[in-house]
Structure 1
Amino acid sequence: MIFISVFCIANIDVLSEGHYSRLIKRHPAPGADLISWIWALIMVGAIIASAIQGPLSDLGRPTIGIFISAGLQALCVFFFIFNWYGEKKNLVERKEDYLFLLKQESMKARTDSEPIKEGVMVYDIRTNKIERTSSAPHDEPAPRNGGNELVSFGELDDDAIEGDFVTATCLCGIFGVNKEIISRNVSVAVYGVIMTAGVVALTVLNIMGTTEELLYGCVGISFVLCATGFLCIPMTIMKANFFGWCQLVSYILISGGTDNFYMSDAECLPNGPHFTQTFYNTVGAVIGNVAGLFGVYMFARVFSKQSYRVTLICTILVQVLASVFDIIIVERWNLYIGIPDHAMYIMGDAIVYEVCYMLNYMPLNMLISRLCPKGCESTMFALLASFSNMGASTSSTIGAILMETVWPISSSPPCDFSNLRWLLIVGHLITPLISIPLVFLLIPGTRICDPIDPKDVEALSIFQKWLNKFDATSNAHTKPQRKPLPDSEE
């Protein structure tokens, strides 16, 4: 039941991300505010869930929360039945994308063939149009859409090229087959197969493999997925995704050690914090999610005007400093200065980590939302989410191997958490700093509120370019017969 619940949540999440990705590309100005509102509501839901699940766990009935979650998820059906998202039909969406691509190619051809002279043709990126001075027969109205869209849909002449637009359907038009999108993104589909195989292999290794097999398999699968990702996914998208993966891997997850330390009883750890389920899973989680709301507010009001690099570097540094509070509690230094464990935990990890997580994730989410190719936003988000989850799984695997081999800890009486300090120092203080130089190599230097270069949005992957070149070469050696269109036969 847990698998089905998480599967449904993942589907709704990916489809929603694909939908608002299209909205952000058409109306980029309020994009940061839209993502801020989305994550603010997610934080509110997490607060409510934490307030329910903690007491249920203390009462020995944690499964009740699963059934409550399943019932609430069923309410999402009404959003899709009544189309509260305001989605357009596939034919309408594909037509808009088709017109956009035609206009973009036309503008490219005009800018390449005609010299840009004074009084002839000037492209203004702020107004999203080509302006002509003396040679223009009339003034073109300013487009209604801003940001990184090359063309305002209101400028397109639908009647002139409507006959050129063709889309395949099946079952009397119930389903649409987007052949042009499939042909433009064959490499993405190939990478989806590779990603699925890698996830299945890693799952099998986690269940049946030894520690050494798990380590070698994790390294090998990660290398294959990263290498093939740079071949099959557009470069700018993959760079951002690879940075997110590196950041997750570098922050080594040792939750198995910290959770046992915080919630161990007096028999296991006489001088430990002895947190209850209610405090650790409810009070701490509620405070953390409230801090996450503050992080969302900071992103919308402060960091949305900064560059991606500045935002990510600041959050990495603050996240590293927040881990110092964990070390203070593990070493019991807070007791020497008169600060209780509960207060130290709330002031440190519960608040700072959640703020940093939101400030770290939302810029990448915003960047990827603007970079997703037209027509396959949900597919791209699914692959990117899978890649991020793969990074978290890799980090957790590395942490488990370290706790088992290099710095072992024991959570059964007599408990031994003496090595937990080294796990925190290495996994939370040292290795996360590796991500800082990667920011300059993988993340664009533009501001979050600035438009993305349209060439990056519609760029093809290396593998897709090779496929297109191969098709062009194959077609050059053949001499196809020109056949009249069915509509032209009379």
Structure 2
Amino acid sequence: MSRLSSAFSWQFLAWLGIDHFAMNGGTMPLLWSVSLPLFKELGIDASRQQLYTTMMTSPFALKPFVGAASDLFPIRGYNKRYLALCSILVGCLGSSAMLAIYHSGSASIAISNGPRAVEGLADMIVISFFAMSLEVAILDVLAEGTFSGIMRRHPESGSSIISYRTAVGCFGAIVTKCYVGPLSDAGNFHAIFWIAFALSIAPLWPTFSGWLPEKKRSADEDGMSRICPGVMFHGGLYRKKKMPFIAIAASGLAAPIVSAVTTYSDLGVGLICSGFILLALAVLTYAVFPCSFFRITLGLMFGTLCQVRTNSALSYFYTADRDCLPNGPQFSYTFFITATGIVGSMMHFCAVIIYQNFLSSWKFRNSLIFSIIIRSFASVVDLVLVMRWNIMLGVPDKLLFFMGHATFENLVIILQSITLSSIYAKIAPPSMETAGFGRLRKISYSAGIGTFCYIITNVLGSGIIMWSGITTVGKDCKFDDLPYLIVVYQILVPLAVGIPSALFIPNVLQSEHLIEWEKENWYEDESDNGDQTPDSEDETNFDGQVLLRAN
């Protein structure tokens, strides 16, 4: 906090804390946690549930599109404030819709009315969750666009801001996990959605009050024009960097389209489309951006793609009832979501402390390779539980799950997450023209591609679960092939592909620049003067410091 206070204002730190507590630590863990019991209550299998959760999280791949729209279309002079307020409205509408459509007995009514009624209710849930996730994604990219610029000008701050927001998010996740499990066991989903509504509205006042620092734009600026009352268009910026905007828009819109195709049309067609889109994004990145940026982005792409997700099958295995899996762990939601979730979030806190005190002084490449190796071997605990070897050794399921999944796996996952977040923030280039422009687009572009790759791994994992013949619902479940999925896709593939992909990341300290943008000569304005010049006599710039213009 001492290091942060020298580079960031208390208003921005407070806004970031409220946002990450309510959104990344509240809404998203709530949606991830409640989707399992909610869809299981509707009789939806693991493969389909994973597609639904992929659709729910696809707004995070819209970050590049949101960043580009924010740069091009200031609302009432602000690139961020009113876009953030609009996202809060969308999130509130999504949580309000859940309050309206889902009550006690909604699932049984839908099941009694047949498969089409179940599918219709599931579709409404996915749309509502999509809206709530969209709020989280937009506020997240606005925060990233702000602190990435400050990190670039204050490299001595290292990854402190990443550790700060991660810690706040972990604290929010602990609070969230405390109530989701017991309420899910009780079938009281309506209470959960009331809490979701409160979380959606939490960032409203700090955002409206301007705690998210930015420079107010004016229609008198060069290249800026007014297209309708309250909305401006930065035509000069668009004309000078048309191709980057096309690449950014393509990367942002790809994931929701692919998610919709795979969820509501055909899984195979969706995977084929994903491959072509991914190749096109790689070509666009190579053609539009500097080689150093392309090389790092390529490494991040491969590093994400190698971690194929089969998490839904594991979740169904751990929470299968006696009729489905007589010899299974049969964890309750209170244990699986709340008890292990709280322990896992506490491990996230420990991971933040460990990273900040030890790994933050490592080089990026070494930190990434270390986290890949440890994360792969952490999956051995899942293998032992699925094979039931722990029963032969006399080790209870809950004890081993606490020691492995809830503690060790969560610890290494957050270590890798902080490293990746720092890399995404570090490769954001300086502004192309004036204050604030460029940062939001570039960090969101790389993170958006990373999210698109993550969505592909979810879609592919859903297909693998379905094609493997695993049965996760009903009275005769079948998990025979689950151990093979763990060994291949959670241990071997990440090691074989993830470690070589980390070699694409420059082997520099985390307090150093990953890309020397001044040497790349890619953007027109190589100075930071625009970052320091406010548009009003009392204006807050990206550093969150108040500057008084001398007339």
- Place the TM-score, normalised by the shorter chain, in its bin: 0.7 to 0.9
C-alpha deviation, 1:299, in angstroms? 1.7
C-alpha deviation, 1:177, in angstroms? 5.1
Q: 1:320 to 1:69 in 2, by over 3 A?
A: same
- 1:257 touches 1:420 (CA, 8 Å); kept in 2? yes
Deviations 1:349-375 (CA, angstroms, capped at 9, x unpaired): 222222222221222222222321222
Letter in 1 for 2:350: F
Quick one: which of 441, 449, 465 aligns to 2:511?
449
Quick one: which of 181, 192, 206 aligns to 1:65?
192
Show the counterpart of 1:248.
Answer: 304
RMSD of aligned C-alpha atoms? 2.7
Show the counterpart of 1:47.
Answer: 174
C-alpha deviation, 1:197, in angstroms? 4.6
Show the counterpart of 2:338.
Answer: 282
Deviations 1:380-429 (CA, angstroms, capped at 9, x unpaired): 23333332221121111111221222454444321111100001011101
**Aligned positions of 1:152-163 closer than 5 A:** none
Letter in 1 for 2:505: I
Show the counterpart of 2:156.
Answer: 29
Deviations 1:129-176 (CA, angstroms, capped at 9, x unpaired): xxxxxxxxxxxxxxxxxxxxxxxxxxxxxxxxxxxx956364899666
- 1:167 touches 1:176 (CA, 8 Å); kept in 2? no
Letter in 2 for 1:448: Q
Distance in 1 (CA, whole Å) between partners of 2:194 and 2:291 is 42
C-alpha deviation, 1:323, in angstroms? 0.3
1:359 correspondence with 2:415: yes
1:414 correspondence with 2:476: yes
Deviations 1:265-314 (CA, angstroms, capped at 9, x unpaired): 11111111010011111111111111111111122111111111110010
Q: 1:419 to 1:352 in 2, by over 3 A?
A: same
1:396 correspondence with 2:458: yes
Q: 1:422 to 1:189 in 2, by over 3 A?
A: same
Show the counterpart of 2:363.
Answer: 307
Quick one: which of 52, 56, 59 aligns to 2:183?
56
Show the counterpart of 1:319.
Answer: 375
**Aligned positions of 1:371-382 closer than 5 A:** 371-373=427-429, 374=431, 375-382=437-444
Letter in 2 for 1:449: S
Show the counterpart of 2:285.
Answer: 229
Quick one: which of 486, 496, 499 aligns to 1:436?
499
1:369 correspondence with 2:425: yes
Letter in 1 for 2:465: M
Show the counterpart of 1:162.
Answer: none
Quick one: which of 273, 279, 296 aligns to 2:352?
296
**Structure 1 unaligned runs (5+)?**
92-164, 465-490
Show the counterpart of 2:202.
Answer: 75
C-alpha deviation, 1:340, in angstroms? 1.1
The range that moved more, 180-189 or 353-362, is: 180-189
Q: 1:259 to 1:452 in 2, by over 3 A?
A: closer
Distance in 2 (CA, whole Å) between partners of 1:216 and 1:168 is 41
Letter in 2 for 1:388: G
Q: 1:167 to 1:245 in 2, by over 3 A?
A: same
- 1:53 touches 1:281 (CA, 8 Å); kept in 2? yes
Deviations 1:8-66 (CA, angstroms, capped at 9, x unpaired): 11111110110111111122211311221111101111111111211111111224323
1:212 correspondence with 2:268: yes
C-alpha deviation, 1:78, in angstroms? 1.6
**Aligned positions of 1:9-20 closer than 5 A:** 9-20=136-147
- 2:427 touches 2:443 (CA, 8 Å); kept in 1? no
Show the counterpart of 2:111.
Answer: none
Distance in 1 (CA, whole Å) between partners of 2:399 and 2:489 is 24
The range that moved more, 390-399 or 361-370, is: 361-370
Distance in 1 (CA, whole Å) between partners of 2:310 and 2:207 is 39
Distance in 2 (CA, whole Å) between partners of 1:4 and 1:459 is 39
Quick one: which of 477, 485, 488 aligns to 1:423?
485
Letter in 1 for 2:483: R
Letter in 1 for 2:485: L
Aligned-residue sequence identity (percent) comes to 22
Instruction: Count how many residue pairs are aligned between Structure 1 and Structure 2.
Output: 390
C-alpha deviation, 1:179, in angstroms? 5.2
- 1:226 touches 1:242 (CA, 8 Å); kept in 2? yes
Deviations 1:51-87 (CA, angstroms, capped at 9, x unpaired): 1211111111224323312222312122222222343
Distance in 1 (CA, whole Å) between partners of 2:381 and 2:141 is 35
Deviations 1:98-117 (CA, angstroms, capped at 9, x unpaired): xxxxxxxxxxxxxxxxxxxx
C-alpha deviation, 1:188, in angstroms? 2.4
**SS state at 1:338 partner:** coil
Show the counterpart of 1:5.
Answer: 132
Q: 1:391 to 1:75 in 2, by over 3 A?
A: same
**SS state at 1:29 partner:** helix
- 1:322 touches 1:353 (CA, 8 Å); kept in 2? yes
Greater C-alpha radius of gyration: 1
Distance in 2 (CA, whole Å) between partners of 1:306 and 1:8 is 34
C-alpha deviation, 1:454, in angstroms? 2.9
Distance in 2 (CA, whole Å) between partners of 1:341 and 1:386 is 38
- 1:318 touches 1:352 (CA, 8 Å); kept in 2? no
**SS state at 1:272 partner:** coil
1:347 correspondence with 2:403: yes
Q: 1:290 to 1:271 in 2, by over 3 A?
A: same
Q: 1:211 to 1:18 in 2, by over 3 A?
A: closer
Distance in 2 (CA, whole Å) between partners of 1:196 and 1:170 is 25
